[in-house]
Every structure is written in C-alpha cells, then in structure tokens.
Structure 1
C-alpha cells in the first residue's frame, strides 16, 4: 500500500493494481473511506472533522492524485503529496 500523504492522523494511500474508477484510500483510526478522484464521491465512514480535512486536501491536490493514479496503473510508485497544513 503506497502511502502518498499523512496528516492529522490520516493516512492517504493508493494501490498499484486497484480497480477503476480512479480513487484513493484514506484511513483514520478504525475508519476507512475511498474518494473518487474525478467526482469527489466518498464511500465508507469517517468522522466529520477528519472527512472535512480529507476533502480539503483532495481539492488542493486533485491534479497530483490523477497523476499518481496513472503511475499506479503503470506499476510505478506514486509520488508523495504535501500534507494538509
């Protein structure tokens, strides 16, 4: 599980052989969600405050996430993305 960012106890990851549509995984304690990179649709459960942080980070780094998805689909390591400050 390539971790692309960590902030505020949240881990953001992408998998090399993951299925479409393009998405990333976010984990926080026992919670886990996936976020569709193209639409922002969230699947799973997350505390409201942590979800707001993930969605804010997603809006800032959407283009980098698309690039990382393409890298993963080509069996290449995704690049690290700056954490939310």
Structure 2
C-alpha cells in the first residue's frame, strides 16, 4: 500500500484497487482510520483526537489531489506524493 504523505507521525496511504467509496487510510501508531475523500467522514476505525484534527485539516487542503490519487490507484497506477501538513 503506497504512502502518499507523512506528517507528525501520521502515515497517509491508499490501497490499489480498493473498495468504494473513495477513501484513504490514516495510520498513527497502532490506530487506523479510513476517511471518505468526498465528505471527510470516518468510514471505519479511529485515531486519537489530535491526530484526527491534523488528518482532517490536511485532507481538506488536498481533497482534489486525494481524488486524483484514488483514480490512479483504481487503475493500479502509483499515486503521486502529496505535500505534508506544515
């Protein structure tokens, strides 16, 4: 599963040819959450509150890039890296 971004100890990943809806995986330590790209709602899992705030802030800034990477992964092409949260 490619890592498309990393910041504050959080890894943002996408699986190739993953199930709908379009989403990404945010991993922080032992915690993982699946976040819907369109709505930024948690589909499954959870993160510590502070990590979730960072993830949602980052995702709101990069929603179009996340959708582009989802489309690439859907066709088994490598996604592009996305700038981390500053």
TM-score in same-fold range (> 0.5): yes
1:52 and 2:47 equivalent? no
Gaps of 5+ in 1: none
Matching of residues 1-85 of structure 1 within 5 Å: 1-42=1-42, 43-85=44-86
CA RMSD across the alignment = 0.6
TM-score by length of 1: 0.98
Gaps of 5+ in 2: none
**SS of the residue 1:72 aligns to:** helix
TM-score by length of 2: 0.97
1:33-82, CA deviations, whole angstroms, 9 ceiling, x for partnerless residues? 00000111112111100000000000000000000000001110000000
